[in-house]
Structure 1
């Protein structure tokens, strides 16, 4: 599900950039490859990278069973995740007097504008053609996928730690908290019949006084 969440964001952002007449390539890749022998995967792209995952604590105490008409099915509750997604603009080209850095700032601004104007994404409400399996709404996991984006601001110290962990080379970027991806194996642990009636038996006790 995590990969499908990022693919959905990539497809929607890419479609938006194309509609603006600025079809910047949007890729899902590890931004820490910047400056390595594989950084050609990042060049001239808006790069979507997953930098952290946290469990949504408010939904940790979900029920451990699901009921149908005849039984209760016990299974481990699903895990609800928040994803921290970094959108980076890695552009080195440009048309004078604008250089690659200004081009990166322009395209990053467009990405922020897009997510400001539309912060909720679902495969069911998408107006673009999505790749498989996101186009399979008969799949309950795909049909229930709902992402809500929130701009996540970092302090200067946190920015320094983030880019230090990613290799130290900082480029124009913005961080979003993406709520919420649900992961479940949907594996039944056991099944039990429903309790339909409760019978209470009482017993009378006789006390003998000597």
Structure 2
């Protein structure tokens, strides 16, 4: 589900950038890509250079939605099923506008424009669902990757200078123009269920609580 959700956003972003890129920019559909930005320094073949690279750098569980009911009614059998509640994840996506070898000032300016388009794209569309993304191939009914519950909410995540230093230090590369987005909420749930036992009998047990009565003490 993580891969499909990120791919879904990547394809939506790709179409937007290709239509709105600056005059003279040669960005192609495949140049907006998913990739490990930490491999940029050792990219001898140039697969990650002069591209817009989307990398997953962190994820966290949405704790506010953690407690759910594990019992559900099976509409086919009318019986009860035990199904673990889904896990909702927040994805931290790094959008890096990489530079070519021997980059010039024009290349850097072009990278900044691409990054601005990323921010502009997410500013213009706050919520992503299959219903409001009809051009996505995932909106085709033949794809069983998503359902109507797909609801992604990207928000710009601002890092401090210290966090930026740690981030690019852990990635092992030189900093390039980038923006980070926190994407809520990616749902992950196993389809494995088990039948829940039916309650066939209720036993009532009364116990006297409190101190003994006076007549019990005298006997």
Where on the TM-score scale, by shorter chain, does this alignment land: which range? 0.7 to 0.9
The offset of 1:149, in angstroms, is: 0.5
Identify the residue that residue 141 of structure 1 maps to in structure 2: 146
The verdict on how the C-alpha distance between 1:142 and 1:91 changes in structure 2, with shifts beyond 3 A counting, is farther
Kept in 1, the 8 Å contact 2:111–2:177? The answer is yes
The offset of 1:161, in angstroms, is: 0.6
Of residues 87, 90, 93, the one that matches 1:85 is: 93
Q: TM-score, normalised by structure 2?
A: 0.80
Q: Which has the higher strand share?
A: 1
The offset of 1:196, in angstroms, is: 8.9
Aligned runs of 1:113-132 on 2, under 5 Å? 113-130=120-137
Q: CA RMSD in A?
A: 3.0
Of residues 169, 172, 195, the one that matches 1:167 is: 172
Greater Rg over alpha carbons, structure: 2
The offset of 1:179, in angstroms, is: 0.3
The verdict on how the C-alpha distance between 1:4 and 1:102 changes in structure 2, with shifts beyond 3 A counting, is same
* Structure 1, gaps ≥5 residues long: none
Q: TM-score, normalised by structure 1?
A: 0.83
The verdict on how the C-alpha distance between 1:93 and 1:14 changes in structure 2, with shifts beyond 3 A counting, is farther
* Structure 2, gaps ≥5 residues long: 208-214
The verdict on how the C-alpha distance between 1:87 and 1:140 changes in structure 2, with shifts beyond 3 A counting, is closer
